[in-house]
Structure 1
Amino acid sequence: MRILLGADTFAPDVNGAARFAERLATGLAGRGHEVHVAAPSPDGPSGTGTFGGATVHRVRSRRYPLHESFRVCLPWESGPQTAAVLDAVRPDVVHVQAHFSVGRGLAVAASDRGTPLVATNHFMPENLFAHARIPGSLRGAAARFAWRDARKVFARANALTAPTPRAVELLTRATGLPATAISCGIDAERYAGGTETEGTILFVGRLDQEKRVDELIRAAARLDRPYRLEIVGDGSERAAWEKLARDLGVPAVFHGFVSEEELIAAYRRCSVFCMPGVAELQSLVTLEAMAAGKPVVAADAMALPHLVRPGRNGWLFPPGDVAVLASVLGALLQDPETRRRMGAASREIVAGHALDTTLDAFEELYTDVTARTPGRVRVPALAA
């Protein structure tokens, strides 16, 4: 098939939605499909390149003034550009990963032209509140507006998905649109192996408000045994959380962004992985830690209970309860046998999220929506 993916975040961006789009693009290309990706330019100008066997069409972007690592595509630029990409590629199916500028432009163009359209939602309003500087008193109204806006785009799709049953429930309740749960998937064998450095607690993710890494730091400060806290990632709260760790005397190492090889090494050497975030629609980094055979301590929020089975592969804690978080972290750090047992269970659970299964599901979905779209005839792409 000729597949056009629309991604509002893509390599070199480092976040769950970008990593999923990358794995989907390279995985489909590896299966012999002709894969194109429309995504924001990482440095401004539009252009065309390649990534993992896929052709990437970069849409002109601008720096977001309230966040140094964000780039945004202005709709009056991205709309015509994404429509032009669609007309040049002439795909069998379009699959957008969001309802923002790139996804919106492609969704509108695809539905206007009768091109089969699949949409996947990775969005929660909470992910954007801090970046948009929305006061707490207005966030309820802002969330309702954001979901209404998402519905305008997703209602155009022939099929709608989200990464987990909890994410589907949230999406359907907020928009009234039916959706299917398809995991983001993971190549588990890539993370297996390595030697644990005993006493190491690991967090991986954006260092932004909804990740609540401050709770992890405060919990670590209560531990009464030797440990090391490693934090991989960057974001708007990094400086504040580095200061908090220093003030509390927490032996924390903030690595910032790291290479894929360094990230895998961090998973392999940690004793316990902790995800205190409360806005996770799946949490790819938690899946990656599980693939490395690690016990997981996570907030009892959103989709994390789909991954963490209390007493089997880790523990859940009430969001904000630093005392409970410290207690379960301390118990795991002093019990290597429980860590081994829970790590093995993590590997068993993650097997249900195999990347090949995800690719199978999307291939089947693409075939279904193209078969249900009347009058579709394979048309050669235009010459570059």
Structure 2
Amino acid sequence: MGTDTYPPDVNGAALFTACLARGLAQRGVDVHLLCPSPEGAPGVERVEGVVEHRLRSMSSLVHASVRLALPPGAPGHLDRLMKRLRPDVVHLQNHFIVGRLLLGAARRHGVPVVATNHFTPENLFAYLHCPPALRGALGAYAWRDLVRVYSAADHVTTPTRIAAQLLVNKGFRRPVEAVSCGTDLRRFQPLRGGEAERAAARSAARRRLGVPDRPTLVFVGRLDAEKNITDLIEALPHITVADAQLVVAGSGSQRRRLAALAAERGVADRVHLLGHVPNADLPDVYHSGDVFTIAGTAELQSIATLEAMAGGLPVVAANALALPHLVRPGHNGYLYQPGAAADLAKYVSEILAAPEERARMGEAARRRAAGHDHQASCARYEEIYRDLARRRTPPPER
């Protein structure tokens, strides 16, 4: 498996790759993973059953947490790995430096390739400080580049049918299979008991996080421009339920801007930017909330939304890209038009003001999340690998 982003990086692609690699290892698959070193120096170690081959790296200069693998010497290193490991299949998680290097090595050694797309150009614009006037041209080039690279793969996947259709719309001419990122239904569970017991558990979760015991909107994710967290803050003064607060778990480039906006709107005491929350503590974040809110417009699925739904939270989400794949209005939450903070506030107010309806929507969210079991996703990828391995052709004569 190859990826340019992997823990300790914090983003959806890194999280999915780690969950898939470790989930496959638990199923008995021998998983070796190539990714950039977080410190720069190369190394190999086994973590949760996965052999991590950390490649020499350097700072990307455009983002503090993004590092780039250094290609010099890498092709020879990958050739030696291929000869030693003799993998049945290679799985790419992106089409950048590591993805291209590993694709080339797989082709030289006759190893079938699976490629999964987590990318949209919007993910790059903020990092590259791209002027809005250039985004159309840059986005079109980025899609053409992805299509060219992934056209060399034997099997292409992406998390949702909407994301698959997007890839086709951008010029990809091969079948694309939707395989959910999935979520750990055993780890992310709703609060148990009657309303009084659930309320007590929510209060306890808020205490552990150090936030007041108030009606709570929750968001989990990077604090970057394409997440549009400004919508959530702009909505807060318009929520009709008294003292409603926003709890945000995550770090990113927009933190100062969000804090300043909260102060400008007079809600600084009701916006809690927790920063990075360790993965082990994420269930507490969801349990602290009454409703999950997400304003991102570049989500090919949204693992955080799946986790929140598995935890029994209704969702108010932007009606953009793949989020409508998860939210059925009036059933497990509502969709609002991106930028329409007043509508976001209206839907949140309705949910917060009606405890019985909120509980019903939370139960529906959990049922909907049950269709995205992480174990089922791991099983499907294992089936794909086995099928490709059976049809493997010998490498070309050299």
Q: TM-score, normalised by structure 1?
A: 0.94
Identical positions, percent: 45
How far apart are the structure 1 equivalents of 2:75 and 2:328? 44
**1:350 alignment counterpart:** 369
- Other structure's SS at 2:170 match: helix
Deviations 1:67-125 (A, max 9, x none): 11211224445544444433432211100100011111101110222101100000000
**2:252 alignment counterpart:** 235
How far apart are the structure 2 equivalents of 1:243 and 1:77? 46
**1:192 alignment counterpart:** 189
The question of 1:247 aligning with 2:243 is answered no
How far apart are the structure 1 equivalents of 2:315 and 2:324? 11
Q: 1:253 is matched by which residue type in structure 2? A: H
Task: Rate the CA distance shift 1:139–1:84 in 2: closer, same or farther, 3 A.
Answer: farther
How far apart are the structure 2 equivalents of 1:149 and 1:76? 22
How far apart are the structure 1 equivalents of 2:339 and 2:232? 9
Deviations 1:284-324 (A, max 9, x none): 00000000000000000000001000000000000111110
Deviations 1:132-158 (A, max 9, x none): 111111111111111121122211111
Task: Rate the CA distance shift 1:78–1:274 in 2: closer, same or farther, 3 A.
Answer: farther
How far apart are the structure 2 equivalents of 1:77 and 1:70? 21
Superposition RMSD in Å:
1.4
The question of 1:144 aligning with 2:121 is answered no
- Other structure's SS at 2:34 match: strand
Counterpart pick for 2:220 among 204, 219, 225: 204
How far apart are the structure 1 equivalents of 2:177 and 2:189? 30
Q: 1:191 is matched by which residue type in structure 2? A: F
The question of 1:369 aligning with 2:388 is answered yes
- Other structure's SS at 1:206 match: coil
How far apart are the structure 2 equivalents of 1:350 and 1:318? 23
Deviations 1:258-280 (A, max 9, x none): 11222110111200000100000
- Other structure's SS at 1:191 match: coil
- The answer for unaligned runs of 5 or more in structure 2 is 192-200, 204-213
How far apart are the structure 2 equivalents of 1:79 and 1:319? 44
**2:318 alignment counterpart:** 299
TM-aligned CA deviation for residue 332 of structure 1: 1.1
**1:289 alignment counterpart:** 308
The question of 1:226 aligning with 2:243 is answered yes
TM-aligned CA deviation for residue 182 of structure 1: 0.4
Task: Rate the CA distance shift 1:147–1:333 in 2: closer, same or farther, 3 A.
Answer: same
How far apart are the structure 2 equivalents of 1:112 and 1:150? 20
How far apart are the structure 2 equivalents of 1:219 and 1:82? 50
How far apart are the structure 2 equivalents of 1:182 and 1:40? 25
Q: TM-score, normalised by structure 2?
A: 0.90
How far apart are the structure 2 equivalents of 1:201 and 1:287? 16
- Other structure's SS at 1:339 match: helix
Native 8 Å contact 2:35 2:69 kept in 1 = no
1:125-140, aligned counterparts within 5 Å?
A: 125-140=121-136
Deviations 1:156-183 (A, max 9, x none): 1110000000110111221323210000
Task: Rate the CA distance shift 1:348–1:134 in 2: closer, same or farther, 3 A.
Answer: same
The question of 1:39 aligning with 2:35 is answered yes
Q: 2:366 is matched by which residue type in structure 1? A: R
- Other structure's SS at 1:175 match: coil
1:145-184, aligned counterparts within 5 Å?
A: 145-177=141-173, 178-184=175-181
**2:194 alignment counterpart:** none
Q: 2:151 is matched by which residue type in structure 1? A: A
Task: Rate the CA distance shift 1:292–1:222 in 2: closer, same or farther, 3 A.
Answer: same
Counterpart pick for 1:320 among 320, 334, 339: 339
Q: 1:349 is matched by which residue type in structure 2? A: R
Deviations 1:321-376 (A, max 9, x none): 11101111111111111110000001100111011211111111111111222238
Counterpart pick for 2:98 among 98, 102, 105: 102
How far apart are the structure 2 equivalents of 1:116 and 1:187? 29
Task: Rate the CA distance shift 1:82–1:316 in 2: closer, same or farther, 3 A.
Answer: farther
How far apart are the structure 2 equivalents of 1:150 and 1:193? 39
Native 8 Å contact 2:315 2:333 kept in 1 = yes
Native 8 Å contact 2:55 2:70 kept in 1 = no
Q: 1:41 is matched by which residue type in structure 2? A: S
Native 8 Å contact 2:92 2:114 kept in 1 = yes
Q: 1:152 is matched by which residue type in structure 2? A: R
How far apart are the structure 1 equivalents of 2:263 and 2:300? 31
Deviations 1:216-243 (A, max 9, x none): 1000122232112101111111111111
Which deviates more, 218-227 or 31-40? 218-227
TM-aligned CA deviation for residue 249 of structure 1: 2.0
TM-aligned CA deviation for residue 202 of structure 1: 0.5
Task: Rate the CA distance shift 1:246–1:347 in 2: closer, same or farther, 3 A.
Answer: same
Task: Rate the CA distance shift 1:241–1:80 in 2: closer, same or farther, 3 A.
Answer: farther
- The answer for unaligned runs of 5 or more in structure 1 is 377-384
Q: 1:186 is matched by which residue type in structure 2? A: T
Task: Rate the CA distance shift 1:84–1:171 in 2: closer, same or farther, 3 A.
Answer: farther
